[in-house]
Structures are given as structure tokens and as C-alpha cells.
Amino acid sequence: MKAAANQLIHLDQVSKTYLMGAARVPALREVTLSIEAGEFTALTGPSGSGKSTLLNVCGLIDQPDAGSISIDGRATGQLSQKELTLIRREKIGFIFQGFNLVPVMTAFENVEYPLFLAGNAATDRRERVREVLSRVGLSELAQRRPDELSGGQRQRVAIARALVKQPRLVVADEPTANLDSATATQIIDLMHELGRSNGTTFLIATHDARVTSRCDRSIVLTDGVLQ
């Protein structure tokens, strides 16, 4: 199937099965899905429906057993681990439910890390990190370590880390699950605002109706099948 011009991700008949002891548990069953560039997509479904697996294969941190995935028009099936790593480094940002910040790094260093990996010069890194931290409202807390920040502030740092390299895709797994209601709303607004201004595509697995309501599109996964 030929990718449309503004299509960022295309999944074609993607299946993934996990082995749980002797039992085979299908997580994705022949999922075919296209997401447009700049689209804000919510991925919903009950627990165990395969949302995280779908995010993982879209984020290229897991590979399907069958089917194909292409990102930005590039098929990923035959790529080596190193090539997949470099695509993630360049084009994909991650926001995790548990924030997954590096505890020994300050907020500034956590956000700087993807730029450092990409080989950006120190002055460029400094400018971009300052800018993105200012946009998430954490300029004053840049030198704090994650354990010195609240849950909402940590998730802001995670969002800044995901967006600092201006990726084509941000994959977010339950980004508001560990946050109180007011903070969750702020985080959704923030992702929306930053995503829109950068033209970044968001794929967000969520149970949160507030998130779903702010997305362009909502897709539902049940027992590994796209509804």
C-alpha cells in the first residue's frame, strides 16, 4: 500500500503475540492504521487491549511478528537495531506514565540528553533546552533533580524532553495517569499547545476522557483489534 503524502505512520496488518509461559497471548491482531502528520490521536481501550503494544511498535521499541510499519514513508521491517535506534533518536519522542526521568540528572540535563545524543553543539543545546523549559514553565526549576519536583513538574520535564529535538512523532503512554485532575488538564493543554506549534504528531494511549476530548481523533482497541 502506498503511503499518502502527509501520512506519518502506516501500520499494515500488524500482529504481535506474547508468550506467557506456555500460553500465546495475542496483543495485536492484524492492525491496519494510518496516522497523518500533525495529527493528535488518542488510543483508548480497556486494560490489556494492546494499547501499550501498539505504542511500542509505533515508537519502534518493539517489533511486530507479522505485518509492516512505515514511518515517514520508510519501511522499518528490514532495518537493523542500530538503524531503528537512530530513527528513534531523530524522529520519535516518548512520554511515559511514570515519567522515566533519569534521577541523577537535573531537569535541564534530562531535557538536554536527546540533543546531546543527536550531537548538537553545547550552545545550541543550551538555547533549545532553555526555550523548551520556559515553554513548559520550568525555567526556575531547571537545576532541580526529579526527586525535587512534583509529579506534574516531572511530567512537564518529560514533555520537554520528548519535544526538545522537535520530533516528527511523540508517543505518550498514559501521560496523565499519575497526576491529579488539575495538573492533568494543564499537561493535556501543554501537549496540545506544543504539539500544534511544532506540527508534531501525537499518539496517546489513555483512559482519560479529557485527553480524548482534546484529540483530533480517537481510535479504540479491543483485544488487539482496532474497532
Per-residue binding string, other proteins, 134-163, x by CB under 8 A, is ---------------------------x--
Answer for which of 26, 36, 96, 212 binds other proteins (CB under 8 A) is 96
Tell me: does residue 15 bind other proteins (CB under 8 A). Answer: no
Using the minimum distance from each CB to other proteins, give the nearer residue, 8 or 111. 111
Using the minimum distance from each CB to other proteins, give the nearer residue, 78 or 81. 81
- Which listed range, 69-77, 108-116, 149-157, 204-212, lies at the site for other proteins (CB under 8 A)? 108-116
Tell me: does residue 83 bind other proteins (CB under 8 A). Answer: no
Tell me: does residue 130 bind other proteins (CB under 8 A). Answer: no
Least separation in angstroms between residue 207's CB and other proteins is 19
Least separation in angstroms between residue 115's CB and other proteins is 11
Using the minimum distance from each CB to other proteins, give the nearer residue, 18 or 197. 18
Residue found by looking up cell 543527536 in the block? 118
Report the alpha-carbon distance of residue 146 to residue 202 in Å, rounded. Answer: 24
- The Cα angle at residue 145 between residues 139 and 148, in degrees rounded to 5: 90
Smallest CA-to-CA distance from 143 within 110, 118, 176, 187 is with 110
CA 126 to chain CA mean position, Å: 23
Using the minimum distance from each CB to other proteins, give the nearer residue, 142 or 186. 142
Using the minimum distance from each CB to other proteins, give the nearer residue, 160 or 186. 160
Tell me: does residue 118 bind other proteins (CB under 8 A). Answer: yes
Least separation in angstroms between residue 85's CB and other proteins is 6
Please report, as residue ranges, which positions from 22 to 81 form the binding site for other proteins (by CB under 8 A): 56, 59, 61-62, 81
Instruction: Tell me the C-alpha to C-alpha distance, in Å, between residue 100 and each of 14, 154, 161.
Output: 27, 9, 11
Smallest CA-to-CA distance from 29 within 55, 85, 67 is with 67
Tell me: does residue 177 bind other proteins (CB under 8 A). Answer: no
Answer for which of 37, 117, 220, 225 binds other proteins (CB under 8 A) is 117
The residues of the shown chain that bind other proteins, judged by CB under 8 A, are: 56, 59, 61-62, 81-82, 85-86, 88-90, 94, 96, 100, 102-105, 113-114, 116-118, 161
